[in-house]
Amino acid sequence: MAAHQSSEWRTVCEKFRLAQDLSEVESRKDPENNPFRSKYKARDLLKEIHCSLKKIQIEEEGEADSESRQMVDEGAGNECGKSCSGDSPAGLGAARLAVLQYYLGVNHIETEELSAGEQHLMNCLKLIDKCTTTRENVSLFIQARNQLGILWAGRDEIEKAQGFLEIAESMYLLYMREDGQPPLDLQDFFVLEGEELSQQEKTRSRFEMAYTHTLYYLAQVYKNLEQYERAGQYCHSTLQRQLEYKQFVPLEWAINAATLSQYYITKTRYMEARHCLAAASVIATLAGEIPSEAAAKESDAECEKREELLQKRSEIARCWIKYCLNLMQDAKKLLEDNIGELDLDRQEELKRARRNVEEEKEKGRKSAILFGSSDTFDSICSLEEKVSSMLPLDFEEARSIFLVGQSYVAQAKEYFAMDGHVTDHIEILQDHSALFKVLAFFEQDLERRCKMHKRRVDMLEPVCKDLNAQYYLLICRQLQFELAETYYEMMDLKLAVADKQDQPDVHTIKKFNNLCSSSMKYYQMFLDSIRSPEGKFPEKLEDDLLRPALVAKFRVARLQSKLISSNLATQLENLTHSLESYNFVVQYCEENPEAKNAVETELELSSEMVSLLPLKINRIRSKIASCN
């Protein structure tokens, strides 16, 4: 074309390159008090190019070719349908102007002038929508709609954003099916004759990146529309493509993959969750080794790198802990009977069923979800093999998952130490405690099970004692209740062991009473935390405290009645306190009928004990009277 040989066209191309440099390079150096200086300069250049371009096209096409000239004049006021081919001179002219409108739109959005940005992007679409889609304009078509999708999502107009992004997606799929050639890059519209266009590999990479962004934004849109299944699928596809085209930042990619694993866990899709976590762990190592403490002290850059790497890897470790914990807890739900113990018949039934179907099921699903390239695939598979994705059905299987989870607890605590990360550190301890709790379910030996609960006490009790309830009230309540429950479970286990003995010895009785007292102590601490500053218990409990508070009262009542003593006066005192606590549960539910559904079982047993305990109390009183 003549334009490519003119000095004016050379000036246009030079201005375009300068505008790109100002936007992408120089803008990073702009001062804080004038953050958009380079962006404004780039905008002025783009406007100058727009004027020059229209002038050049008029000279090239001549006055007679008014139809083509009008079509490229802002795309306003004329419709020529799709009669113009995207690779025709008129189509190329339209696309060239549309590229300028696109960059002007992005420029205005980056300088926080959203309405003006929207207008330029719509002008861009008006120009190219008049032409058939070809390799010359398909990349522009997708990128303009991506930008409009982001713009409308930012305004919380999620369905409008969805419309733009879904059209961009369908256009990519149609183009790849019908043509598939590497499309023209946006910057290739402004090159001088004799200059090389962008390499095909580079062009293809940018085009694929634009489509990857489409999928990424659609994942966010579907999440906002609460279409979580689709959001998960699009997020997975985004991550796969980022690896395939090497368009990712290792730590960012790893955190996104680990986050996706948590979605799969909620859907009990543990094979997919494990794959995401294994990939996250492997890709995170591409960010480099964690600098030593000595190196971090000598250099601010090394200090920042150490901090970031430790934090992100610890966050991934926490996701692994959740994976192991949920896998074991879901197995427990399947295997427990109506009193929370291991159902041996159910266990055998599930083992038989798994042998028959699980292997084929895994093969079929795995082919659809794989991450990784040739240099990471083996590492990801190797890490996956270290932990099962199948629900554990016996102690040995549960223990192997527990040990993996426990190793990640140690890793997570490297960054989330008690000093500086109190809440996170305690949450990790609570997950560690929960791992022991669910492992104990699979253990048949009562003494060993009791020791596992003792490990829970040992890790939580020191923290509970040291924590300031004024600043960490919610966490203190959680720890108090969990410690009370743990001692309560240990008491039940000791009771079961004692029942197998003809006559419990003094040591066993003392141990049993200590467990009862410790459980009551923490339940009472929990209940006292609900009281007003004046020490008054609330007449009406808040919804989130209703069940925990009434359960605590019920269990205190049961514990008081279980205390073993040969002294009749002590027995009378314990049973009297027990009756008071049972009475509290019954009276509260009578005064607040809506509470009955929250503690149905506890209320039924409390009502029964309120009837029975007075008889027992009277018998002890009679014995005391006869002794006197």
Cα–Cα distance between 217 and 152 in angstroms, integer? 11
Give the pLDDT band (50/70/90) at residue 77: very low
Cα–Cα distance between 498 and 515 in angstroms, integer? 13
Give the pLDDT band (50/70/90) at residue 580: very high
Residue-level pLDDT at 68: 45
Range from 61-65, 85-89, 244-248 that averages highest in pLDDT = 244-248
Cα–Cα distance between 50 and 44 in angstroms, integer? 10
Give the pLDDT band (50/70/90) at residue 75: very low
Cα–Cα distance between 170 and 594 in angstroms, integer? 52
Q: Using the predicted structure, report yes or no on whether residue 169 has a pLDDT greater than 80.
A: yes
Give the CA count within 13 Å in the CB-facing half-sphere of 343: 15
User: Among 15-24, 55-64, 424-433, which is the least confidently predicted range?
Assistant: 55-64
Cα–Cα distance between 417 and 392 in angstroms, integer? 31
Q: Could you list the beta-strand ranges (E) of 8-124.
A: none
Residue-level pLDDT at 360: 59
Residue-level pLDDT at 1: 43
Residue-level pLDDT at 400: 97
Provide the 10 A C-beta neighbour count for residue 20: 17
The candidate with the shortest Cα–Cα distance to 586, out of 566, 600, 569, 568, is: 600
The candidate with the shortest Cα–Cα distance to 76, out of 126, 144, 115, is: 126
User: Among 55-64, 202-211, 367-376, 525-534, which is the least confidently predicted range?
Assistant: 55-64
Residue-level pLDDT at 432: 98
Three-class SS state of 342: strand
Residue-level pLDDT at 440: 96
Q: Using the predicted structure, report yes or no on whether residue 5 has a pLDDT greater than 90.
A: no
**Contact between 3 and 56 (Cβ < 8 Å):** yes
Rg (CA), the chain: 35
Q: Using the predicted structure, report yes or no on whether residue 283 has a pLDDT greater than 70.
A: yes
Residue-level pLDDT at 74: 45
Region for residue 281 given its phi and psi (left: phi exceeds 0; alpha: psi -120 to 50; beta: otherwise):
alpha
Q: Using the predicted structure, report yes or no on whether residue 316 has a pLDDT greater than 90.
A: yes
Token readout for 522 is 């923490």
Cα–Cα distance between 191 and 540 in angstroms, integer? 76
**Contact between 483 and 551 (Cβ < 8 Å):** no
Q: Using the predicted structure, report yes or no on whether residue 95 has a pLDDT greater than 80.
A: yes
Q: Is pLDDT larger for residue 472 or for residue 369?
A: 472
Q: Which residues, 6+ apart, have CB-to-CB distance to 348 below 8 Å? A: none
Residue-level pLDDT at 322: 98
Please provide the size of the chain in residues.
628
Give the CA count within 13 Å in the CB-facing half-sphere of 387: 28
Cα–Cα distance between 310 and 332 in angstroms, integer? 33
pLDDT in tens, 200-249: 778 888 999 999 999 999 999 999 999 999 999 999 999 999 998 888 99
User: Among 132-136, 165-169, 451-455, which is the least confidently predicted range?
Assistant: 132-136
Residue-level pLDDT at 204: 86
Cβ-count burial of 569 within 10 angstroms (0-12 exposed, 13-18 middle, 19+ buried)?
A: exposed
Q: Using the predicted structure, report yes or no on whether residue 46 has a pLDDT greater than 70.
A: yes
**How much is the average pLDDT of 527-533?**
93
Cα–Cα distance between 68 and 83 in angstroms, integer? 11
User: Among 392-401, 463-472, 490-499, 573-582, which is the least confidently predicted range?
Assistant: 490-499
**Contact between 425 and 417 (Cβ < 8 Å):** yes
Helices first, then strands: H and E counts in the chain? 23, 0
Give the pLDDT band (50/70/90) at residue 76: very low
**How much is the average pLDDT of 194-205?**
74
**How much is the average pLDDT of 339-359?**
81
**How much is the average pLDDT of 172-181?**
92
What percentage of the chain exceeds 70 in pLDDT?
91
Cα–Cα distance between 485 and 606 in angstroms, integer? 18
Beta bridge partners of 336: 342
Three-class SS state of 336: strand
Q: Is pLDDT larger for residue 401 or for residue 381?
A: 401
Q: Using the predicted structure, report yes or no on whether residue 82 has a pLDDT greater than 90.
A: no
Beta bridge partners of 334: none
Cα–Cα distance between 488 and 551 in angstroms, integer? 12
pTM comes to 0.86
Residue-level pLDDT at 99: 95
Residue-level pLDDT at 503: 78
pLDDT in tens, 104-160: 999 999 999 999 999 999 999 999 988 888 888 999 999 999 999 999 999 999 999
Cα–Cα distance between 465 and 558 in angstroms, integer? 25
Q: Is pLDDT larger for residue 208 or for residue 339?
A: 208
